[in-house]
Amino acid sequence: MAIIRLMNGVVYQELDEDAWQALHRHTAAVKDHFAGIGVEVVIDDAEGYAYLRAQPESETERPLPRLVARRALPYHDSLLLVLLRKRLLEFETTGGETKLVVTREELISMLQIFLADTQDEARAVDRIDTIIRRVTEMGFLRPLRGEENTWEVMRILKAYVDAQTLADFEAKLAEYAAAAGRFDHA
């Protein structure tokens, strides 16, 4: 059961307790199963999730065909992921609640400043709704039951947007802000 759940996507401890327990009971066997086909099982007990990723290529062995597809994300999807990761980091440093919850309005305001200036606000909001939908389909946002336009930010995001990516993004933003400041005074 754990193998099938992992093949379908991320296994969360709080959302799929049975698969999580099976994964822990049979960790060695599950890892061996996937290692034979060039896939690594990553289990993060602290965050409560497990997922599959391609094993790093070895220089000594002939590489296996890639089973876990890599996809280039559209710029604005990547941007939203980085912004959500930054928000998750801030959320974790303040403590308090166990889940980071965001609303559609918050997501719109996070992204709007990065969209090219447009006269048509409705079109910009439609574009943001599309970005939110794609990020939700990827599993980084989970709609909350009974609450329209409200999502939980899934902690698996930490595995995809690491601290270095976040630092690089912050540096780029500072660089852009400095450049904008030079043009304002010109």
pLDDT tens, N- to C-terminus, the chain (186 residues): 889 999 988 999 999 999 999 999 999 999 999 988 888 999 999 999 999 988 776 655 666 666 656 667 888 898 899 999 999 988 988 876 789 999 999 999 988 877 766 677 788 889 999 999 999 999 999 999 999 999 999 999 998 887 787 788 778 777 766 665 555 444
Q: What is the pTM (predicted TM-score) of this model?
A: 0.77
- Output the pLDDT for position 167: 82
**Residues 155 and 87: beta-carbon distance below 8 Å:** no
Report d(CA 27, CA 43) in Å as an integer: 9
Q: Are residues 119 and 35 in the same domain?
A: no
- The answer on 123 and 163 residing in a single domain is yes
pLDDT reported for residue 51? 92
pLDDT at 121: 79
Residue 62 counted as domain residue: no
The pLDDT score that the predictor gives to residue 165 is 79
- Domain ranges, residue 40: 2-54
Phi, psi angles (nearest 5°) of residue 111: -90, -30
Task: Quote the number of domains for the chain.
Answer: 2
Nearest C-alpha neighbor of 139 from the set 148, 130, 151: 151
Q: 118 and 153: one domain?
A: yes
Q: Name, in order, each residue with C-beta under 8 angstroms of 93's C-beta and a sequence gap of 6 or more.
A: none
102 inside domain: yes
Model pLDDT, residue 13? 93
Side-chain-facing half-sphere of 59: CA atoms under 13 Å:
0
